Structure 1
């Protein structure tokens, strides 16, 4: 019901924002562009990286001898840290640029996933969870910023929807992969190593992102 309180802003003349990519751009061209494909692949690997640890860390902590209630609280620490990550990464992204901050965050996320491999007691789990939750929650809004900076407003729904779909596939991959690894190896260690590799893949793909070329400003006429 609260959504009913939203109102459209007063009508304003249609003026292209100076940071818009060169138009015309069709949806067909946009979804075939390297920029879109890179965002899709990055979000898939990014979500595959953190979804496995999110889903399986409580069970892993119990295997390490931590009581169930305390193990569940590890996920609570991730969630609380994530709230601050959303704000913190937004501020940092505005200051230093969304791509730069996203790439750095993806690398730290990979390291955070690997950090669980070395955690054995509750304090170590809390420390890794605080870092991991801050990072994986913080980097997610930056995808929307990159989309806004590189694609016209008229296709935001399509581009963000496609990118989010890839993220959903990644979120579905991590838990299944973790379950298969546990059933195969009898432990979760290989899961965190695999998630580290997936995180490096996300980092590597994101490094290849190149913004659309901006049109040269027209020379002033005297």
Structure 2
């Protein structure tokens, strides 16, 4: 119902959702801030120091799916309270760590619990918008990037003055104080009438595609792995790539910041576009531009051209992941949104993890990033092919003309 969705309450709820996402998503980024200090304290290798981050991402991926299930069953408020408490507990356990292994286990919990601020929150806010769902999902998803851009700067002073354990104690307190009170403000649920209307709309789309929700979920998961293996090449390796080209790590760090901050604008633009074109077409546009950027990275050897190509990449990649949430809501039952969105988000995170590792392996074997970019282009092509196929299946076609041999015309899919 329009009276319940897209109204003043929905936009106010979106603002609270963004604040929660800004806070709880810090669990994904805090480990990056403290990695140099951890390496110095434990005397670990660079690979060993990266292990806590790896387990953070493993937990983050699993949390998107499993907490999404919990949101479908118990609602977002209970999920947020439990996840915020678990995130704070993970921070606390991390401060007691006496080895990289102990810190890595604590980070697994932090990553798992902080995932509530991504897929589960996105799924929840999607119920409150119909006409403007695209921009609402994009704003909620931007909380992840904004958190990565804001918290490292805010925590840098605490790290320099008091050490990384103090950073984690601060974040434990901020998470509890900042998330739990806001969670109670999200107790209201959409009415059964609104939910039923969403179910009917998604059923029409699903019939047109001719796929069961489970089949479509797995197909979207494969597409998500494909696009994020491609996406990870510039995001994970841009600093090293700039060093190889002779520009130094500072330039690479600037480009990484450009990707994070520019990704916020990209997500907002894609959300506005999705409200007009739908999730599949919006994702196709973003994936196509990302593929173009990967092609352009190959001949880009100058600093100016590298910035230009990175800008093209930024404009494309930010809106890709939120588009999956929109496709899930367009084609799958509303009552299963948390689990379905969470599964696809988990697949995209696995794609980022696989792509970052695979690009490094290709570099070690070939001695350059050229083949790694080509590998990303191939995976990106898989994503584009799946989306084109889904779009073709979902596009109504005119009925066939009657034929004396074939009998009555076959109706077009709904």
Shorter-chain TM-score tier: 0.7 to 0.9
1:9 pairs, out of 171, 184, 188, with 188
**8 Å Cα contact 2:321/2:345 also seen in 1:** no
Say whether 1:74 aligns with 2:255: yes
**8 Å Cα contact 1:38/1:206 also seen in 2:** no
The match for 2:374 is 193
**8 Å Cα contact 1:75/1:129 also seen in 2:** no
2:224 pairs, out of 7, 24, 43, with 43
Pair 1:203–1:13, CA change in 2 (3 A):
closer
Helix, strand or coil at the partner of 2:203 = coil
**8 Å Cα contact 2:263/2:314 also seen in 1:** yes
1:98 pairs, out of 275, 279, 282, with 279
Helix, strand or coil at the partner of 2:298 = helix
The match for 1:30 is 213
User: Highest relative contact order (Cα 8 Å, sep 6+), 1 or 2?
Assistant: 1
Q: Which whole-Å CA distance do the structure 2 matches of 1:102 and 1:187 have between them?
A: 30
Q: Which whole-Å CA distance do the structure 2 matches of 1:92 and 1:212 have between them?
A: 19
Pair 1:6–1:114, CA change in 2 (3 A):
farther
The match for 1:20 is 202
Per-residue CA deviation, residues 86-142 of structure 1 (Å, 9 max, x unaligned), is 100000111122211211221111111222222212211211111112211112111
1:52 pairs, out of 233, 242, 249, with 233
Scaled by the length of structure 1, what TM-score is found? 0.85
Helix, strand or coil at the partner of 2:188 = coil
The match for 2:41 is none
Helix, strand or coil at the partner of 2:202 = coil
How far did residue 168 of structure 1 move?
1.8
What are structure 1's unaligned runs of at least 5 residues? 23-28, 217-222
Q: How many residues align?
A: 209
What are structure 2's unaligned runs of at least 5 residues? 1-177, 205-211, 397-412
The match for 1:113 is 294
**8 Å Cα contact 2:226/2:379 also seen in 1:** yes
Q: Which whole-Å CA distance do the structure 2 matches of 1:146 and 1:157 have between them?
A: 13
**8 Å Cα contact 2:286/2:316 also seen in 1:** yes
How far did residue 212 of structure 1 move?
11
1:162 pairs, out of 333, 343, 347, with 343
Helix, strand or coil at the partner of 1:208 = helix
How far did residue 11 of structure 1 move?
6.5
Scaled by the length of structure 2, what TM-score is found? 0.47
Pair 1:125–1:156, CA change in 2 (3 A):
same
Per-residue CA deviation, residues 53-99 of structure 1 (Å, 9 max, x unaligned), is 21112111111110221221111111222111010000011112221
Q: Cα RMSD (Å) of the superposition?
A: 2.4
1:89 pairs, out of 245, 259, 270, with 270
Q: Which whole-Å CA distance do the structure 1 matches of 2:186 and 2:288 have between them?
A: 40
How far did residue 4 of structure 1 move?
2.8
Structure number with the higher helix fraction is: 2
How far did residue 207 of structure 1 move?
1.2
**8 Å Cα contact 2:213/2:331 also seen in 1:** no
Q: Which whole-Å CA distance do the structure 1 matches of 2:280 and 2:190 have between them?
A: 32
Pair 1:7–1:125, CA change in 2 (3 A):
same
Helix, strand or coil at the partner of 1:155 = helix
